[in-house]
Structure 1
Amino acid sequence: MLRDVLESLPHPPKFLVVDDEDDVRVLLREYLSGLGLPVVEARDGEEALRLFEEKGPFEIVITDLVMPGLDGLTLIRRIKEREPETIILAMTGYARDYGYVDVVLAGADDLIQKPFSFEEFEARLARLLREWKLKEELQALSIRDVLTDIFNRRYFEERLLEETIRALRQDYPLSLLMIDVDRFKLYNDTRGHRDGDLLLKALADILCRCTREKVDQAFRYGGDEFVVLLPHTDTRQAAKVAERILENYREAGFSPTTLSIGVAKLLPVENPRKSADDLVRRADEAMYRAKRSGGNRVEVDPESL
């Protein structure tokens, strides 16, 4: 049963095992590793929170409840505050002190009593993995644009702030491309909505082909507007990516449409939220300068030079 569940997963979830008993912690680590699952272990709640910051987030946490220092229930609450989607399996050998209702109210998804058999552990684990897989599938649906199958604006807002915080903290460049299809309404009105949809799908494909897989991210911003987030990319490099997108679109043959592309680099402004908003504003203004100049061109935000 567990093997079937593991084979159906989109990718292996990352585990954090927390227990002050070395025998239990090592046994679980070796068992999960033997299933091909990535595992990190912690001896107590404080170490678990530190690892969550340094090596997380973790999709599934297995934690004891009775530990020195930070206890399991507090750890569960702290994890859920940081990552509400984390799935947590609590363990305890003190059944009279901790009930199922207590741990569920704290945020855990299940409770297993020590000592437990591997048959019982496998059954609980299989259920939690099925639950995690369902969450992953629902998350994937919620962040994708239905027409183009790239990320949507809702997810862009989320990723933009995350990338902004990371770039400011680690002091690396982050650039943004704002892209608009020139004369798209004319194309749609004369060729029909079906051809207009094909154009948008083709543009989404071009954005993905012209950027780095698993590093850069393309989003449909709305209508015929798209954005591309480029981490670890300065203004000059971002402008090169924009020119590559522009050239590939020209070759795609969607005349009379062309692209107007604005390029901007992240600059620190008071706090991450304001810095992210400022980045979008400057990329948008650069894109509109490209449109006012006739389109079919790349414009770079002057503050980013």
Structure 2
Amino acid sequence: MKPANSPERKLLIVDDDPDLLELIKTKLEAENYSCEAAPNVETALALVRERQFDLVISDLRLPGIDGFTFIEVLKAKYPALGIIVITGMAEIESAVKAMRAGADDYLTKPFNLDHMVISIERTLEKQRLIIENRDYQQFLEQRVREATQEQRKVFHELRKTKEYLENLIESCVDAIISFDLNGKIRFCNRSTENLLGRPVAEVLGQHICTFCSGGRPAAERLIKTIHLQQKVRNCEIELLSVSSNQITTASVSASLLQDVEDSDLAIIAIFKDITEQKKLQTELQELSIKDNLTSLFNQRHFYRVLEKEMIRAARQKHPLCLLLLDLDNFKQFNDSQGHLAGDRILEQVGSIINECTREYVDHAFRYGGDEFTIILSETTIRQATEVAERIQRSLKQAFSGALSLSIGLAQFRAGLELENFINSADKAMYNAKRAGGNQIALAGVRRRSVHK
């Protein structure tokens, strides 16, 4: 298998900024990618028609045809092509619109080129897995279909074809199960034992619902879907392993077929264990919302969570507070001690914030640089102040008073816009800064910390 950054990987970069084009092209060629550049959509489409690219990196704001239309055109003509969009627009709606149009990932300006390389590697790996899984499923379906047709056409070759089919099925690492429309299992291969945790002899004759974590309703939904559509691909279902009592996530590709012996309709299904793949997807999703240095949530996730909590607070009339924290004199510390020492400080501050907030209730984020935010759900101003003071005490104890925080505190009010809510906490924090630091300032009111 070729590594994702082998010289054969061809990338197309589309942007109307020649300096940015040259910067990205130089970086990616240093990473052993073969790159082409285009200043507009028309040139890019011409290059895509002439040459075969693995991935396109495109700005959303382009002269002429807009970036969203460009993405839709590419996905319609080249569905296997990976697409990463670059945008200076920080609105979440723009990112969502780009992803719905077919983009695999997006980066917001200004961005780190190393982050772009990670995004490219992840997108190329995703495309490889999609193509590999599609080809694999097609291969299995084709072989099963050919074997079935051969049985009907050539009776004297039945034994040879039957042996070939059995060897193929038994050598398959995925579970292949055939059951009637009532759900009774008629056939399964040896790989089924690994998936369901029972010997083949104990699986045959059982109802498929026996092994569905959702019981009979889940099994009946699967059977009904296959019966209506006649063929399904990559339908997810949760199965229960009887021996370990563990739930396994499987991807089901199934077809409705006519039984040769009694002419009854039956279902042949391939169950692929994707538990580890789902776990990887969860981990990747976790990485996409976490700050790599502090393990707190990142700024992108902050806006999503705050918007949801504001809606919930307005609907349920619960108190909601926002803390915005900034390390005092951190730039001078960074300049004198170095960035590595600064990074270690930020890691420790992240740990202190985690320890001083409620797990699964409060939400802590690294807002950027040495700034942090905390969303305190169902929390009054008095309780939020106690949280802020607890963080200040812990910080003072951890660093023997050498470091301090300026903290801005804002309380949500019905009708308050998200941007204004953040700005009120931000202004309060700067009030604390102007008062000498190591302060907790309430939006509209300044309050000296008892720990200064």
What interval of TM-score do these two structures reach, taking the shorter chain for normalisation? 0.5 to 0.7
Distance in 2 (CA, whole Å) between partners of 1:244 and 1:146 is 25
Deviation at 1:168, TM superposition (A): 1.6
Please tell me whether residue 178 in structure 1 is matched to residue 320 in structure 2: no
Residue 309 of structure 2 aligns to a residue whose secondary structure is: helix
Please tell me whether residue 287 in structure 1 is matched to residue 429 in structure 2: yes
The letter of the residue matching 1:244 is R
| Alignment partner, residue 92 of structure 1 | 226
Deviation at 1:297, TM superposition (A): 1.4
Residue 304 of structure 2 aligns to a residue whose secondary structure is: helix
TM-aligned CA distance change 1:130 to 1:289, over 3 Å: same
Distance in 2 (CA, whole Å) between partners of 1:194 and 1:302 is 37
The letter of the residue matching 2:345 is L
The letter of the residue matching 1:278 is N
| Alignment partner, residue 394 of structure 2 | 248
RMSD: 3.5
Distance in 1 (CA, whole Å) between partners of 2:289 and 2:427 is 26
Aligned positions, number:
222
Deviation at 1:190, TM superposition (A): 1.7
Deviation per CA, 1:71-111, whole angstroms, max 9, x where unpaired?
Answer: xxxxxxxxxxxxxxxxxxxx321344xx448x99xxxx755
| Alignment partner, residue 158 of structure 1 | 304
TM-aligned CA distance change 1:111 to 1:228, over 3 Å: same
Q: Is the 1:220–1:226 contact (alpha carbons within 8 Å) kept by the matching residues of 2?
A: yes
Distance in 1 (CA, whole Å) between partners of 2:278 and 2:220 is 14
2:442 aligned residue (290, 300, 303): 300
| Alignment partner, residue 190 of structure 1 | 336
| Alignment partner, residue 379 of structure 2 | 233
The letter of the residue matching 2:405 is L
Distance in 2 (CA, whole Å) between partners of 1:169 and 1:238 is 21
Q: Is the 2:322–2:373 contact (alpha carbons within 8 Å) kept by the matching residues of 1?
A: yes
Deviation per CA, 1:209-262, whole angstroms, max 9, x where unpaired?
Answer: 000011111110000000011111111111110011111111111654310001
| Alignment partner, residue 404 of structure 2 | 258
Unpaired segments ≥5 residues, structure 2: 1-190, 197-206, 237-250, 257-265, 446-452
Q: Is the 1:151–1:218 contact (alpha carbons within 8 Å) kept by the matching residues of 2?
A: yes
Distance in 1 (CA, whole Å) between partners of 2:216 and 2:412 is 36
Deviation at 1:132, TM superposition (A): 2.2
Deviation per CA, 1:114-138, whole angstroms, max 9, x where unpaired?
Answer: 7657xx57x24x23x3442222111
Q: Is the 1:183–1:256 contact (alpha carbons within 8 Å) kept by the matching residues of 2?
A: no
Distance in 2 (CA, whole Å) between partners of 1:220 and 1:5 is 42
Please tell me whether residue 276 in structure 1 is matched to residue 410 in structure 2: no
Seq. identity, %: 37
Q: TM-score, normalised by structure 1?
A: 0.63
Deviation at 1:148, TM superposition (A): 1.0
Return the index of the structure with the highest Cα Rg.
2
Distance in 2 (CA, whole Å) between partners of 1:183 and 1:255 is 13
Distance in 1 (CA, whole Å) between partners of 2:227 and 2:391 is 59
Question: How do 1:1-305 and structure 2 match up within 5 A?
Answer: 28=209, 31-33=211-213, 63-64=221-222, 91-96=225-230, 99-100=231-232, 111-113=253-255, 116=267, 120=269, 123-124=271-272, 126-127=273-274, 129-253=275-399, 256-269=402-415, 275-302=417-444
